[in-house]
Amino acid sequence: AKVGSGHAIGLVMDVRDENSIKAAVEDAVARFGGIDVCVSCASAIFPQRLSEMNTKRFDLMMSINSRGTVLVMKNCMPYLEISAQKGRNPHVIILSPPLNFSDAVAQKVNTNYFVAKGGMTLAAMYASMEFSKEGIACNTLWPTGLVTTSALNHMFRNKPESLDKFMRKGRTPQCQADAAYVIATSNARKFTGNQCVDEDVLLKNDPNHDFSQYDYLTLGATREERLKGILTS
């Protein structure tokens, strides 16, 4: 599919299954000739109080979030190494939280979820040290607040009224996408090992950045328009 001035292909990948990851990576390389940027954002979200935690759901989060991220990086790294050798400025961006427990973006609840997400951040930070000499940047990216996607639908049982009310607190995914673009176009040899927050990235790039463009209400005048692409059938 043509997207703006570029092209994209949709591939099915189960990050719990390494054969599935390998197949998707190989298909992408066959189509585009290599990999210059790896963005890992696959996650399962089942936040619960630790004393009430569902262990099966915790295992699912760990297998997708932490383990899945490591496997995706593992299978992309050989191509990112080639990208570095060719001077193509390769980047890995992991969508996971900064491990700063006193920071304003830190959530002091949902231990089960943040153990799984924190593993993603650790993977990025250690990979940044392992591959920095080769010129492969590894950074994390986290939203300032709620991102208005379908990821939380199951928590509201796909109820339009509840979803629409909750989503009004958030920003559209374009905010994360714009921040990821700034990171991916930075110098990989100089900007690596950072735990980034989207708002900080965009303000550093442009102190006058307009964040109103990401307001959930810009998606439409009616609930139906706003939830199109978010509400699942």
Exposure string of 78-117, with b = 16+ CB inside 10 Å and e = fewer, is ebbbebbeeebbbbbbbbbbbeeeeeebeeeebbbbbebb
- Output the CA angle 66-94-87, nearest 5 degrees: 130
At 158, list the tokens: 């796909």
Tell me how long the chain is.
Answer: 233
In this structure, the dihedral spanned by the alpha carbons of residues 185, 117, 10 and 19, taken in order and rounded to 10 degrees, is 110
H/E element holding 38?
strand 37-40
Instruction: Kindly give the residue spans of alpha helices, DSSP state H, lying in 62-212.
Output: 68-85, 111-131, 160-167, 174-184, 198-205
**Is 181 marked active-site?**
no
Q: Which of 120, 108, 101, 98 is nearest to 44 (CA)?
A: 120
Give the DSSP letter of residue 6.
E
At 51, list the tokens: 């004393």
Task: Give me the catalytic one of 113, 181, 214, 216.
Answer: 113
Please provide residue 13's backbone torsions phi and psi, each rounded to the nearest 5 degrees. -140, 130
Active site residues: 113
